[in-house]
Amino acid sequence: MNTAAAASLESYRDSLARIQPQLTGASQPWLAQQRREAAASLQQLGFPQRRQEAWRYTSVDRLLQQAFVPAGNDLPEIDLDAFVLPQLDAHRAVFVNGRFVAGLSSLEALPAGVTVGSLKQQIERNPIVPAKWLGQAAGVPLHAFSAMNTAAIDDGLIIHVAQGRKLERPIEVLHLTTAPTDAVVAQSRNLLLLEAGAQATLIERFTSPDASLYFNNSLSEVILQDDAELEHIRLQEESPAAFHLHSLFINQYERSRYRNTGFALGGAWSRTELNIDFLGPAAAAELDGLYVTGDQQLTDTHIDICHSVPGCQSHTNYKGLLHGRGRAVFDGRIEVKPHASKTDAHLHNANLLLSRNAEVDTKPQLEIYADDVKCSHGTTVGQLDPAQLFYLRSRGIDAPEARRLLCLGFAGEILDRCRIAPLRERVRAAVAALLAQAATAVEGE
């Protein structure tokens, strides 16, 4: 391990040792033990190295050079109006630097049998659900960042939908992070439990009121019991200086359905890890994603889908638009275990490189140990088609506008997967703005 990594590891460990006794539920043995074990594993895991396959294309050096301090309890003032989508009718929970802010949230209209709010408060008031489920889907930390998150479990989002309850309106969760003075690390820990037959739509937006430097190290556990359905839309628009890591662990029981549509637009360094485990037969997961990555940006997507029971479906489709000196990584893996017959698993990643200096490392993997399965995987990396460009120009459309239309067309397939119109149009506009910026940069060169 290099010196920067060793120094960071020590400082994180020391700060964890300092804060652990002050955290919520420190006196609850189940939680204290999880935190202690995670802190202990931190030393053993060390920070990820490029020689590890899952980190081969993603260096954490830049992240470790920063001296992040844990986000404090004093939260900066937030002008919520800057973030609200007027057309979006939703229950809203707002977190600032990983902490729930009741004053900014509007959760009054939640129906009976539905809990949305602060994990911290839940642990203090009624820890039954957290005590049973926290750590179940995530398991033993895979890397130091997960260990750090677990070692400092304090606040974050909890959603609990009781058996058979169906939410009509979506739940919108704003994860705002800001570090006006010292660079902070915010670590929200999120737990979503949909009991049998429950249905919900969750929109998570990760953003910042400013361009500050911070590290958002989030971990989410999602448990979908029999026949539960969750539509999960993630919009990552972190500050341009931010580091963002979101590890998601999704456990799917019999016939449950999970749809995740992810948009990664912001941040200097961002990584999303989606781990899907099918624990009951006939469950289905649809994962769609779009990343737009430019100068000074690295966007990394890791998808790990484990088919260990028969008859489950997973359809993954990720697309990337890279401009400037943008770098992206896509690492998607499907594993079909013995006995997981009738598995239907497809994974595809397509990338459009808009400049010579953009780079993508894409690695779809398929490991099949069962018979009678339908599986495919593929990846493409290409440039705008000159024939398409000519066609648009021959109709009077100038070259920058032609490129913009083609890029939006490329992104459109994923955008259209988002069924929440105000959010979809918001993302479409954001993508268009990023492309316009990229085009201006090209002309300026």
Binding site for another protein (CB under 8 A): 385-388, 390-399, 401-402, 405-406, 408-413
Smallest distance from another protein to CB 404, Å: 10
- Comparison of 92 and 403: residue with beta carbon closer to another protein: 403
Smallest distance from another protein to CB 392, Å: 7
- Comparison of 210 and 401: residue with beta carbon closer to another protein: 401
Smallest distance from another protein to CB 408, Å: 7
Smallest distance from another protein to CB 274, Å: 24
Q: Could you give the CA distance from residue 230 to residue 38 in angstroms, rounded to a whole number?
A: 29
- Comparison of 86 and 396: residue with beta carbon closer to another protein: 396
Q: Which of 242, 183, 247, 182 is nearest to 38 (CA)?
A: 247
Q: Could you give the CA distance from residue 59 to residue 434 in angstroms, rounded to a whole number?
A: 25
Smallest distance from another protein to CB 156, Å: 36
Smallest distance from another protein to CB 412, Å: 4
- Comparison of 83 and 318: residue with beta carbon closer to another protein: 318
DSSP 76-108: PP--GGGT--TT---EEEEEETTEE-GGG-B-T
- Comparison of 371 and 416: residue with beta carbon closer to another protein: 416
Smallest distance from another protein to CB 396, Å: 4
How large is the C-alpha radius of gyration of the chain?
21
- Comparison of 278 and 318: residue with beta carbon closer to another protein: 318
Beta-carbon contacts of residue 415 (< 8 Å; ≥ 6 apart) = 290, 424, 427, 428, 431
- Comparison of 25 and 320: residue with beta carbon closer to another protein: 320
Q: Could you give the CA distance from residue 197 to residue 254 in angstroms, rounded to a whole number?
A: 10
* 119 within 8 A of 158, measured Cβ to Cβ: yes
The position carrying tokens 């993997």 is 365
Backbone phi, psi, residue 121, to 5°? -65, -35
* 358 within 8 A of 411, measured Cβ to Cβ: no
What is the residue type of 18?
R
Return the bridge partners of 251, or none.
223, 277
Smallest distance from another protein to CB 131, Å: 47
- Comparison of 14 and 413: residue with beta carbon closer to another protein: 413
- Comparison of 124 and 413: residue with beta carbon closer to another protein: 413
Beta-carbon contacts of residue 54 (< 8 Å; ≥ 6 apart) = 48, 142, 143, 302, 331
Beta-carbon contacts of residue 18 (< 8 Å; ≥ 6 apart) = none
Which tokens in the block code for residue 212? 């500050």
Q: Could you give the CA distance from residue 181 to residue 74 in angstroms, rounded to a whole number?
A: 12
